[in-house]
Structure 1
Amino acid sequence: MSRTLRLRVTCAALALACMAPMPTLADVPGVAPLIQQGRYWQSKGRQDLANQAYRRVLALDPNNAEARKGLAGPPPKAQPTPKPTPAPAPARRRPARPRGGSRRPGSSRSTGPPWPGQPGADRPAAK
C-alpha cells in the first residue's frame, strides 16, 4: 500500500470515529431519571434527597460527571453586598445662652412687660 493511500484510510477512520455518537445519560438504563430527580431535589433545597439520587447514579455509572458534580452540592449563592451605612450627621450646637440669665419677657429678670396671657400681665411693668 502506498503511503498516500494509508494516510487517506487513516484520516477516514479518524473522521468516522469522531462522528460516532458520544455516550449520553440514556446510554446507561435508569440514569436519566435519577439525574432529573437529583436536579429536582436540589432545586427544592433538599440536598439530602438529591445526594441519594446521585449516589444511585454512581452505583450504575461510576464515571458520571454530573452525579459527581451534584454530590458536591449546589453552587453557592452570591451574597448581596451590604449597603454602607451613612455616617451620622454632625451634632448641631445649640446657640450659647446670653450671660446674665434669661431675657424672656415675663421672667423675674425681665425689664419689659410680660407677654399677654402670662401671670402678671395685668400688672403694670416694673420700673
Structure 2
Amino acid sequence: MQKTFLRAWMHLDRLYMSSGSVMSWLRTVARNLAIDQSRRAAVRNEYVENTRAYAERQQDRFECVFEAIEAVSLMQNLSREHCAVLFHTQLNGRTMRETAAILRIPVGTVKSRSSHALSNLRRLAME
C-alpha cells in the first residue's frame, strides 16, 4: 500500500495532468507491485502457506490497497499543499515539526493544512 502511495506521490504531476482515470492507474500500480512481490518470493523459494489464514491476510491487504486507492483518488480534490502535508504526516509518519522543516513552513501552517485536508477528505468520502 505504501509503495502504491509513494509511486502516486512521485508521479503526482502525471496524475494531475493525465486525462485517464487515476483509479485505473493506481489499480495497475498496486497489481504490478503485488505481482513483483509474488515473483520475488517465488525466485527466493520462499514458503507460501496455502491456508485459509494466508488467504484472509491477503484479502485484508487487498482491501487496504483499495482503500488507499480510494483515498488517493479523493486527494486529487485537495490542493498540492494539503497533499504534501498529508503525505509527510500520514504516509511517512512524520511529526508536525519534521514536516514543517521539510516543507519549510511554520508548524502552525502544517497543523492548519493537515486539519483542513483531513476535514475535506472526510467530507468528500461522505459524498
TM-score (norm 1): 0.24
TM-score (norm 2): 0.24
Largest Rg, 1 or 2: 1
